[in-house]
């Protein structure tokens, strides 16, 4: 695979691939511009360090962590690898400010802010501490607003992704956003599981890609064997998006494997709507309970292996997960496929080049 200072060997396809992803590697400080998407209960120090050592960019998922646990995870990751990694912080975290303080104190090199628009003050505090700030941009106006706030890079994630998703497909979103934000690196996510798909995104103008579902099934992933087996068995059509039954109770759709957890989500919505009508809870309280529902169900699936009642969050690329592999094998395979695609060997040319 290619080092941060250029690809190994003299192979022409690797050289062309390096030219496409040079900017992403430089920004991340990695051998490849492959980000392992932050997955709650999965992206801990073991997986993140393994991704970093294999030449990718691992990201600790702080969404389900109290500040004290995040401090421990950062220390454990640094003890396991001397390569760059990041921290993903959800803006809706109940102790968001304390989590940001941990990142500032630890002088994290890259912080990924997700779940909503961060304040300019938050971005400035992180940048003043030496962090590079990455944010998700679901549309062009949001991307431009984030750039004005000082973010250093963007992730555009399509609806094919696992977990919380937006309304737009990866291909359409990439075509919409990439031409309008040339000033910063942009990483494409959602349904990316092969090197061919990576090349397509790179040739559209991306600086790299984010991959989640394949890494959830990696041998270094702490996910329960039942969780991994469910991913290996699944087809793309099995990864469905949760339905909202009343516009009053707004919730960000979640993509996960169809099971009893999806049915339970419909029931809890009905219960909460009845409670709202009875004046027993406010809309804000109800929406918080919705988020707690998904967090609890995800933990149930990942940690205890209950893939019937727990939430098996996965992207539609789950159809391309055929076996449990090491992180190194996954990244090597992605790079080899991408290099082969550069000469038209199964690749898809979606832009000039």
**Residue 202 and residue 234 in one domain:** no
- Confirm whether 353 is domain-assigned: no
In our burial notation (b when 16+ CB lie closer than 10 A, e otherwise), range 97-129 reads: eebbebbbebebbbbbbbbeebeeebbebbeeb
Select from 177, 211, 167 the least CA-distant residue to 315: 211
Helices (H) and strands (E) in the chain, counts: 13, 13
**Residue 182 and residue 242 in one domain:** no
pLDDT tens per residue, range 302-347? 999 999 999 999 999 999 999 999 999 999 999 999 999 987 654 4
Please, are residues 285 and 249 in contact by the beta-carbon 8 Å criterion?
Answer: no
In our burial notation (b when 16+ CB lie closer than 10 A, e otherwise), range 177-207 reads: bbeebeebbbbbbbbbbbbbbbbbbbbbbbb
The pLDDT score that the predictor gives to residue 12 is 67
- Confirm whether 213 is domain-assigned: yes
**Residue 333 and residue 185 in one domain:** yes
**Residue 135 and residue 280 in one domain:** no
**Residue 232 and residue 213 in one domain:** no
pLDDT tens per residue, range 255-264? 999 999 999 9
pLDDT tens per residue, range 163-210? 999 999 999 999 999 999 999 999 999 999 999 999 999 999 999 999
SS3 of residue 50 by DSSP = helix
- Confirm whether 347 is domain-assigned: no
The answer to whether residue 7 scores a pLDDT higher than 50 is no
Annotate 94-106 with DSSP letters as a single string: TTHHHHHHHHHHH
- Confirm whether 240 is domain-assigned: yes
Burial of 307 (0-12, 13-18, 19+ CB in 10 A): buried
Averaged pLDDT for residues 105-109: 98
pTM, 2 dp: 0.92
The pLDDT score that the predictor gives to residue 249 is 87
**Residue 294 and residue 163 in one domain:** no
pLDDT tens per residue, range 42-93? 999 999 999 999 999 999 999 989 999 999 999 999 999 999 999 999 998 9
- Tell me which of 284 and 301 has the higher pLDDT: 301
**Residue 110 and residue 176 in one domain:** yes
Select from 347, 257, 271, 273 the least CA-distant residue to 311: 257
CATH of the domain at 327: 3.20.20.70
**Residue 146 and residue 242 in one domain:** no
Segments forming the whole domain that contains residue 292 = 225-304
- Confirm whether 108 is domain-assigned: yes
> For residue 223, how many other CB atoms are within 10 A of its CB?
23
- Confirm whether 279 is domain-assigned: yes
**Residue 177 and residue 280 in one domain:** no
- Confirm whether 95 is domain-assigned: yes
Tally of domains within the chain: 2
**Residue 136 and residue 219 in one domain:** yes
**Residue 218 and residue 232 in one domain:** no
**Residue 84 and residue 216 in one domain:** yes
- Confirm whether 329 is domain-assigned: yes
């Amino acid at each position: 695979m290619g080092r941060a200072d250029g690809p190994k060997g003299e192979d022409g396809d690797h050289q062309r691939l390096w030219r496409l992803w040079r900017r992403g590697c430089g920004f991340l400080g990695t051998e490849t511009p492959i980000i392992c998407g932050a997955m709650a209960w999965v992206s801990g120090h073991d997986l993140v360090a393994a991704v970093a050592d294999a030449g990718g960019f691992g990201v600790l998922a702080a969404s389900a962590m109290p500040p004290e646990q995040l401090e421990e995870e950062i220390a454990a990751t640094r003890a396991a690898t001397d390569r760059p990694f990041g921290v993903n912080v959800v803006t809706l975290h109940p102790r968001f400010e304390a989590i940001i303080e941990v990142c500032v104190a630890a002088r994290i090199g890259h912080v990924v802010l997700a779940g909503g628009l961060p304040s300019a003050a938050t971005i400035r505090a992180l940048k003043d501490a030496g962090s590079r700030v990455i944010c998700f941009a679901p549309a062009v106006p949001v991307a431009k607003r984030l750039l004005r706030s000082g973010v250093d890079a963007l992730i555009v994630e399509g609806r094919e992704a696992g977990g919380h998703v937006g309304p737009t497909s990866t291909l359409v979103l990439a075509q919409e956003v990439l031409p309008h934000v040339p000033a910063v690196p942009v990483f494409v996510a959602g349904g990316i599981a092969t090197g061919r798909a990576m090349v397509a995104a790179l040739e559209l103008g991306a600086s790299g890609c984010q991959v989640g579902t394949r890494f959830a099934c990696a041998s270094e992933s702490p996910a329960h064997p039942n969780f991994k087996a469910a991913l290996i068995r699944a087809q793309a059509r099995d990864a469905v998006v949760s339905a909202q039954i009343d516009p009053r109770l707004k919730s960000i759709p979640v993509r996960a494997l169809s099971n009893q957890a999806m049915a339970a989500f419909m029931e809890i919505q009905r219960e909460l709507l009845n409670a709202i009508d009875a004046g027993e809870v406010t809309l804000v309280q109800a929406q918080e309970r919705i988020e707690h529902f998904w967090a609890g169900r995800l933990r149930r699936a990942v940690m205890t292996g209950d893939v019937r009642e727990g939430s098996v969050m996965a992207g539609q690329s789950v159809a391309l997960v055929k076996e449990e592999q090491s992180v190194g094998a996954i990244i090597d395979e992605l790079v080899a496929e991408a290099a082969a695609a550069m000469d038209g060997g199964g690749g898809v040319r979606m832009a000039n080049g």
